[in-house]
Amino acid sequence: MTISTLALNDGNKVPWMAFGTGTVIFQKDAKDTVELAIANGFTHLDCAQIYKNEDSIGAALKTPGVPRSSLFVTTKLDRLQPGQTAKTALHTSLDKLGLDYVDLYLVHAPGFHEGQLKEVWKVMEECMREGLTKSIGVSNFGVEHLQEILEGAEVVPSVNQLEIHPYVWGCLQPVIALHKEHGIITSSYGGLSPLFRASGGPVDPVIEKIRARLESTRGKPVASSQVLNKWLQQHDILVVTTSTKVERIREYLDTSDVPDLTADEMLMIESAGAERHQSFFRTSIAWRG
């Protein structure tokens, strides 16, 4: 199964769906789960220093028959310790992952670097120039954070990873508009939260109605998670998702083969989502919105 790609503003390409290594395997040995994800077709791995499992992910990356060139590896910058820089932190990540470079390096959250965002971004740019990472970007950045680093930046962030699902869609429109202005790819985490963290909400009956229509059109099973992931994909969003269950992993990857939602169905999801504002992650800009 080939995963389609999105074009980054620096000329590189990124697989539209990534396997996340936080949440269910946060601070846990991720080797077996990551090996399972790779064996079933994931090529993009979304890591982070704060997840405290880069060493076990590195062990999974040594799996025979999986060339480095076939993988896209993202990691994210944690809070800096005294004397540490974004570059030295990346060197530590590379040692743990057993890699010479990552494909994408993100500033995990603006609140980790209050008053230092411009300085941190300059070092991120150095990491890219020196080949330690092919692309650089950010995560959990609102309009004001992006504007702060864009002023004087030599490299525009290629990605901004945010909590995105129908219950926060409305409040994200200003930052998504800024992304479009600068060619920044919008990436999502927590996209299935309405299903797994807030079941019984206003989007549920809408998702079920669309799921049934898609299943009838397709002639084979369609899951509720595929409806939400398809909604994200049709907005050209880079989706980060995860599971320890092989059936879920295969289900997520199968999303590309699900028929497209209609324009009306896309709006139905967004209208239902607008009935409730609910964020599930404290680092998210939607938590404050």
Q: Which residues are catalytic, by number?
A: 51, 108
Who's near 209: CB < 8 A, 6+ residues apart?
268
Backbone φ and ψ of 208, nearest 5°: -65, -40
Strands 5-7 and 13-15: antiparallel
Which residues in 75-113 are b (16+ Cβ under 10 Å) and which e?
bbbbebeeeebbbebbeebbebbebebbbbbbbbbbebb
CA distance linking residue 174 with residue 204, whole number of Å: 26
Of 9, 7, 31, 12, nearest to 21 (Cα)?
A: 31
Backbone φ and ψ of 130, nearest 5°: -85, 0
